[in-house]
């Protein structure tokens, strides 16, 4: 896949999946703009000194002004990949309104604002583009979201946003899709679930490959898809 001279924003790019996505993109020639909130995230990011990676400090991706500033600074945006989000395993009876709003802001509002900014940026240049959101397995299989209903609802909203927006902007040449990962094989998840069969979990590099294809010029027809990336789990 050829991303030569193409500019891509990757939110959540300093995380485990994000690093795999950014690594694949720069290998394909892309210029990656990676926002971060915590300075330590940037300091630990393995590609922080890569010539095609720009780390961009932001205060909060749920704030309209911050998102606007991020997108206005990127020349000729081709793709926007939204990996930023958060997880909460809390039963409904113990979930406060602030907990719910936190999940909605972290997972849905950030994605919504970045989608809006990306669509406007792509429309200005008139050359189309690609948007990839991140849902989750419970966004497609709601019953698997038992015990984490706020998280499930927020990710289901991401899936609905993706499908609706894909129809809205298709004629502008902007293809919008999402991936829906199950539990991925990361050091943090292995620590949290040491007795699980880790061999069944999808590797971040495998999930990244799907994301990069959806964001690529080679993807000419896929839009409105919520792609399951479950591995063998």
- Residue 82: predicted pLDDT: 98
The answer to whether residue 1 scores a pLDDT higher than 90 is: no
Mean pLDDT value across residues 201-217: 97
The answer to whether residue 85 scores a pLDDT higher than 90 is: yes
The answer to whether residue 121 scores a pLDDT higher than 90 is: yes
Mean pLDDT value across residues 198-204: 93
pTM higher than 0.75 for the full model?
yes
Q: Is the domain defined by 7-229 classed in CATH 3.40.50.620?
A: no
The answer to whether residue 233 scores a pLDDT higher than 90 is: no
Write out the DSSP string of 21-81.
HHHHHHHTT-EEEEEESSHHHHHH-TTTT-TTEEEEE-S-TTSHHHHHHHHHTSTTEEEEE
- Residue 28: predicted pLDDT: 98
- Residue 116: predicted pLDDT: 98
Confidence of residue 106 (pLDDT cuts 50, 70, 90): very high
Torsion of CA 167, 170, 174, 179, to 10 degrees: 40
- Residue 222: predicted pLDDT: 98
Count each helix (H run) and each strand (E run) in the chain, helices first: 9, 7
The answer to whether residue 87 scores a pLDDT higher than 90 is: yes
Mean pLDDT value across residues 76-84: 97
- Residue 223: predicted pLDDT: 98
Mean pLDDT value across residues 44-59: 96
Query: Please, are residues 111 and 8 in contact by the beta-carbon 8 Å criterion?
Result: no
Domain boundaries, the chain: 7-229
Confidence of residue 173 (pLDDT cuts 50, 70, 90): very high
- Residue 61: predicted pLDDT: 97
Per the prediction, the chain carries an average pLDDT of: 96
- Residue 160: predicted pLDDT: 98
Distance CA 213, CA 25 (A): 10
pLDDT above 70 covers a percentage of the chain that reads: 100
The answer to whether residue 22 scores a pLDDT higher than 90 is: yes
Q: Which residue shows structure tokens 């990361």? A: 186
Write out the DSSP string of 92-120.
GGG--HHHHHHHIIIIIIHHHHHHHHHHH
């Amino acid at each position: 896949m050829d991303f030569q001279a193409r500019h891509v924003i990757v939110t959540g790019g300093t995380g485990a999946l994000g690093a795999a996505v950014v690594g694949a993109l720069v290998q394909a020639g892309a210029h990656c703009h990676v926002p971060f909130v915590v300075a330590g995230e940037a300091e630990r990011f393995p590609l922080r000194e890569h010539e095609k990676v720009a780390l961009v400090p932001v205060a909060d991706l749920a704030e309209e002004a911050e998102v606007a500033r991020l997108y206005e600074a990127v020349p000729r945006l081709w793709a926007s990949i939204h990996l930023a989000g958060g997880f909460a395993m809390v039963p409904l009876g113990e979930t406060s309104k602030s907990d719910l709003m936190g999940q909605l802001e972290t997972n849905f509002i950030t994605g919504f604002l970045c989608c809006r900014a990306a669509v406007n940026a792509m429309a200005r240049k008139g050359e189309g583009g690609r948007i990839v959101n991140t849902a989750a397995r419970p966004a497609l299989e709601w019953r698997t979201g038992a015990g984490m209903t706020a998280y499930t609802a927020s990710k289901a909203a991401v899936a609905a946003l993706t499908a609706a927006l894909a129809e809205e902007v298709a004629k502008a040449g902007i293809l919008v899709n999402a991936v829906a990962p199950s539990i991925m094989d990361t050091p943090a998840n292995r620590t949290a679930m040491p007795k699980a069969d880790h061999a069944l979990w999808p590797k971040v590099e495998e999930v990244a490959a799907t994301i990069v294809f959806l964001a690529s010029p080679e993807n000419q027809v896929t839009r409105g898809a919520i792609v399951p990336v479950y591995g063998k789990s």
